[in-house]
């Protein structure tokens, strides 16, 4: 805990030298560990500002959990893909609707881009969770 305080202090000094400040309302601490309990407590005080600790955090569109299990991110991605998959189904049909090239363009620009975003991180997730995304991709094709 003391080393975390020292690191936070040096981080604050680094930002102050650049003329920047840390916004406590936009900041969250998430300790990545497989332990059930954390020695950190509920929050950390940095320069008089309280920064809360969280079990999960969303950073640049990627949902990170404390155990880095990727379940939350894969579930959120699957929910988002299902919405676009329903939209794809609504404007394609065997007798009417968009031609196959347009449907493929819609698939690659929306569904596949959503599934590919962050895939280099969550590719280490368990195979059962990844199979959820595989099934959605097969449905889209």
Are residues 29 and 92 located together in one domain of the fold? no
Are residues 20 and 73 located together in one domain of the fold? no
CB atoms within 10 A of CB 64: 21
Are residues 47 and 82 located together in one domain of the fold? no
Query: In this structure, are residues 85 and 107 in contact, taking their beta carbons and an 8 Å threshold?
Result: no
pTM, full prediction: 0.77
Q: Please report, rounded to a whole number, the percentage of residues in the chain having pLDDT higher than 70.
A: 95
Are residues 66 and 132 located together in one domain of the fold? yes
**97-110 tens-digit pLDDT:** 888 888 899 999 99
CB atoms within 10 A of CB 78: 17
End-to-end CA separation in angstroms for the chain: 50
- Does residue 5 surpass a pLDDT of 90? no
Cβ neighbours of residue 40 under 8 Å, at least 6 residues apart? Answer: 1, 4, 29, 31, 53
Name the residue range of residue 107's domain.
62-140
């Amino acid at each position: 805990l003391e080393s975390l305080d020292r690191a936070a202090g040096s981080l604050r000094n680094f930002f102050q030298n650049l003329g920047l400040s840390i916004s406590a309302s936009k900041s969250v601490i998430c300790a990545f560990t497989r332990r059930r309990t954390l020695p950190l407590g509920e929050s950390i005080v940095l320069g008089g500002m309280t920064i809360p600790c969280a079990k999960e955090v969303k950073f640049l569109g990627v949902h990170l959990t404390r155990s880095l299990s990727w379940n939350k991110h894969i579930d959120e991605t699957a929910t988002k893909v299902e919405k676009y998959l329903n939209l794809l189904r609504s404007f394609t049909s065997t007798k009417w609707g968009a031609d196959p090239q347009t449907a493929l363009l819609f698939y690659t620009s929306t569904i596949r881009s959503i599934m590919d975003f962050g895939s280099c991180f969550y590719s280490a997730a368990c195979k059962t969770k990844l199979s959820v995304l595989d099934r959605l991709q097969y449905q889209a094709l």
